[in-house]
């Protein structure tokens, strides 16, 4: 049994689809996931590499144990379990799980050529944390030097061309390489370049170049400091990551900006102070809710005129203290 895995983007969403191949032309697309474009790359950028060292070292030891049984009789059950756990950490690991599931099945069936330690090379797994760490560093370089909307004074294409002008293959920059892609129909009215990856690195490469070619830019979130794309509402200052107590940075940012606005506006402070006083009279039974609502509407009109500069705040304060309208 083989497998097939592919991914593509239309510039708005990124799609991952995978399944098994029973026979040469018998494809079964049993799984499909999609995310907002750039979400998987940013999730990889946020991934804590430290959390990967122990499981990948453990998996490396399990793979080396299989070398003792080159006839395919080694126990692969726990190794399958480890790959399933890893796949839940990030969508790119889903490809890794599928690839190694196929390798281990072929190992058990002794359906491979050459030495077992080359067919299932343990360093393909133990090097994962350091590889991801390198990709993270390279992506940060691209973000800060070519894709940062807040610092960019030229187009993405010009910034990238300048960045790669004297590129010598060093680890500081991502090394874009030839990829196995195919132009395909991916929707009723849509064609796209589709990647059939040979490794997780191919997926990173493919999505990064899509970012560059589509000239997507990013900005750092004013709450968590992490990058997010400037697509959609370009004036947004906060990302949609979960930050604290189930709230996103955008929700926290909106609340913070509202508090800052209140703190900076004497008109709002005055309104809130008198609003609370008069609202308490409803509970005390001194005024009706209808009378209070009439007062609140008039008070908001005064408040908004002060904030727009149409009315001096002294007049608003005098009206509030006069006792008119309750």
d(CA 79, CA 85): 10
Give yes or no for residue 233 having a pLDDT over 80: no
d(CA 152, CA 145): 8
Question: What's the pLDDT band for 1 if we cut at 50, 70, 90?
Answer: low
78: region left, alpha or beta (phi > 0 left; psi from -120 to 50 alpha)? alpha
Give yes or no for residue 159 having a pLDDT over 90: yes
Up-side HSE of residue 248: CA atoms within 13 Å toward CB? 10
Domain ranges of the chain: 2-212, 221-260, 265-322
* Residue among 91, 46, 89, 38 nearest 224 (CA): 46
Burial status of residue 316 (CB atoms within 10 A of its CB: 0-12, 13-18, 19 or more): buried
Alpha-helical regions (H) of the chain:
39-46, 50-66, 77-87, 92-108, 116-119, 123-126, 128-142, 156-163, 200-213, 249-264, 266-283, 289-308, 313-322
d(CA 132, CA 116): 26
* Residue among 104, 116, 112, 108 nearest 73 (CA): 108
* Residue among 107, 106, 100 nearest 85 (CA): 100
Kindly state the DSSP code that residue 146 receives in the 8-state scheme: I
Burial status of residue 178 (CB atoms within 10 A of its CB: 0-12, 13-18, 19 or more): exposed
Residues ≥6 apart with Cβ < 8 Å to 101: 3, 80, 83
CB contact at 8 A, 198 and 5: no
* Residue among 136, 143, 135, 177 nearest 160 (CA): 143
Question: What's the pLDDT band for 185 if we cut at 50, 70, 90?
Answer: very high
Kindly state the DSSP code that residue 190 receives in the 8-state scheme: E
Render pLDDT for 284-307 as a digit per residue (tens, 0 to 9).
888 888 888 888 888 888 888 887
Of 282 and 50, the structure prediction assigns the larger pLDDT to 50
Segment among 118-122, 244-248, 258-262, 297-301 with least mean pLDDT: 258-262
Average pLDDT, the chain: 89
Q: What is the pLDDT of residue 259?
A: 62
Question: What's the pLDDT band for 124 if we cut at 50, 70, 90?
Answer: very high
Q: What is the pLDDT of residue 2?
A: 84
CB contact at 8 A, 242 and 223: no
């Amino acid at each position: 049994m083989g497998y097939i895995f592919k991914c593509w983007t239309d510039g708005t969403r990124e799609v991952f689809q995978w399944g098994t191949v029973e026979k040469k032309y018998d494809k079964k697309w049993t799984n499909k996931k999609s995310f907002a474009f750039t979400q998987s790359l940013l999730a990889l950028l946020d991934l804590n590499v430290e959390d990967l060292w122990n499981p990948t070292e453990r998996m490396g030891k399990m793979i080396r144990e299989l070398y003792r049984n080159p006839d395919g009789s080694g126990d692969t059950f726990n190794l399958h379990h480890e790959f399933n756990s890893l796949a839940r950490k990030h969508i790119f690991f889903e490809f890794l799980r599928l690839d190694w599931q196929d390798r281990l099945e072929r190992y058990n069936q002794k359906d491979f050529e050459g030495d077992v330690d080359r067919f299932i090379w343990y360093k393909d797994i133990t090097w994962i944390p350091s590889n991801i760490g390198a990709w993270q560093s390279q992506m940060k370089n691209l973000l800060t030097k070519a894709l940062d909307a807040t610092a960019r004074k030229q187009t993405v294409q010009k910034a990238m061309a300048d960045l790669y002008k004297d590129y010598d293959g060093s680890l500081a920059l991502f090394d874009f390489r030839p990829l196995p892609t195919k132009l395909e129909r991916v929707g009723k009215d849509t064609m796209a370049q589709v990647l059939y990856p040979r490794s997780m690195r191919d997926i990173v490469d493919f999505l990064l170049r899509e970012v560059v070619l589509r000239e997507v830019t990013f900005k750092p979130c004013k709450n968590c400091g992490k990058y997010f794309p400037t697509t959609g509402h370009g004036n947004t200052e906060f990302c949609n990551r979960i930050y604290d107590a189930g709230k996103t940075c955008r929700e926290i940012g909106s609340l913070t900006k509202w508090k800052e606005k209140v703190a900076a506006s004497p008109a709002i402070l005055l309104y809130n102070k008198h609003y609370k006083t008069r609202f308490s009279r409803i509970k005390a039974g001194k005024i009706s809710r209808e009378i209070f609502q009439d007062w609140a509407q008039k008070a908001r009109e005064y408040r908004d005129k002060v904030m727009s500069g149409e009315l001096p705040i002294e007049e608003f304060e005098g009206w509030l203290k006069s006792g008119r309208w309750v």
